């Protein structure tokens, strides 16, 4: 795996934020608002996650990969168990870091706890390598997420929130830049702190921006339904500043989730 493929790890974990809200959400209650079904992040974790026996799968690609003229892609398969409303939700993922070769695999673990009022706290570890290879080490993180329930920030017709944010801190990719970034004179360390902001535009999709500790990204995410089956997609421009990477790139993602 080339050093440029390190970018796929944050892009892939941004994709994971797309699958969890509808398939694993608690039943809606009268006079309450739930999170909307669209993605909340691009390259950063959110505290919410899959739970209640939800299985999810997805893929992500970058055009091009960092420090490369070639495109790149990765894929994920995972399951969410437990109940974050009552105790804890546990999300376990298996990731193929390189879908052109299918020879590098990693895992990730995310634990989530609902705090009520659409608030949640989560913690996890990414990129636990299961095979040889890989240029990125483990990344540990903790994150807080919230869906705003102010009257001006909710869709009263379908009782969902429009504005969402997360803030967290972590090690690994949130804290350290790649060897190629260092070689290019972009410094050694990121901010350790990351965050994301998502707003539902025109009652149909979320526009999103996030800071992943080393760079700024912006895009949109939407969930489509085919026979009540949610299929989530995202499109983003990544590396919008000169803090890391060698230029702006396009990031595309899609995922599907269903209950066992």
Which stretch of DSSP H or E encloses residue 36? none
Which sign, positive or negative, has the C-alpha torsion 78, 16, 234, 199? positive
What confidence tens digit (pLDDT) does each residue in 136-162 have? Answer: 689 999 999 999 999 889 988 888 999
Count Cα atoms within 13 angstroms, Cβ side, for 255. 37
Instruction: Write down the pLDDT at residue 10.
Output: 59
Asked if 96 contacts 75 with a C-beta cutoff of 8 angstroms, the reply is yes
Q: Bridge-partner residues for 73, per DSSP? A: 61
Architecture of domain 3-259: Beta Barrel (2.40)
25 three-class SS = coil
Instruction: Write down the pLDDT at residue 191.
Output: 97
Instruction: Write down the pLDDT at residue 24.
Output: 43
CA–CA dist 15, 112 (Å, integer): 17
Residue 32 burial (CB count, 10 A): 11
Which sign, positive or negative, has the C-alpha torsion 197, 52, 128, 114? positive
| Low-confidence stretches of the chain (pLDDT beneath 50) | 1-5, 18-28, 30
Cα-based angle 89, 92, 95 (whole degrees, multiple of 5): 150
Residue 259 burial (CB count, 10 A): 11
- Does the pTM surpass 0.85? The reply is yes
Instruction: Write down the pLDDT at residue 156.
Output: 87
Contacts of 118 (CB under 8 A, 6+ apart): 33, 34, 35, 146, 147, 148, 149, 161
Domain assignments of the chain as residue spans, ordered by start: 3-259
* Residue carrying structure tokens 């979320």: 206
What confidence tens digit (pLDDT) does each residue in 186-219 have? Answer: 999 999 999 999 999 987 899 999 999 999 999 9
The 10 Å CB-count burial string (b at 16+, else e) for 206-231 is bebbbbbbbbbbebbbbbeeeeeebb
């Amino acid at each position: 795996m080339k050093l440029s493929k390190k970018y796929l790890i944050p892009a892939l974990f941004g994709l994971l934020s797309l699958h969890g809200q509808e398939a694993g959400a608690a039943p809606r209650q009268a006079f309450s608002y739930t999170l909307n079904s669209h993605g909340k992040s691009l390259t950063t974790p959110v505290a919410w996650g899959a739970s209640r026996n939800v299985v999810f799968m997805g893929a992500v690609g970058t055009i091009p990969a960092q420090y490369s003229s070639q495109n790149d892609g990765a894929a994920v398969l995972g399951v969410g168990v437990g109940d974050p409303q009552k105790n804890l939700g546990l999300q376990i993922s298996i990731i193929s870091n390189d879908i052109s070769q299918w020879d590098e695999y990693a895992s990730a673990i995310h634990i989530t706890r609902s705090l009520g009022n659409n608030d949640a706290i989560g913690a996890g570890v990414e990129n636990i390598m299961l095979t040889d290879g890989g240029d990125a080490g483990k990344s540990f993180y903790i994150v807080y997420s919230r869906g705003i329930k102010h009257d001006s920030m909710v869709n009263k017709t379908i009782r969902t929130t429009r504005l969402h944010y997360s803030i967290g801190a972590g090690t690994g990719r949130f804290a350290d830049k790649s060897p190629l970034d260092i070689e290019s004179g972009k410094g050694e360390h990121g901010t350790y702190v990351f965050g994301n902001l998502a707003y539902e535009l025109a009652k149909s999709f979320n526009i999103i921006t996030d800071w992943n500790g080393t760079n700024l990204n912006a895009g949109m995410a939407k969930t489509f339904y085919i026979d009540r089956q949610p299929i989530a997609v995202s499109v983003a421009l990544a590396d919008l500043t000169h803090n890391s990477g060698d230029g702006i790139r396009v990031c595309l993602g899609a995922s599907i989730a269903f209950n066992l």
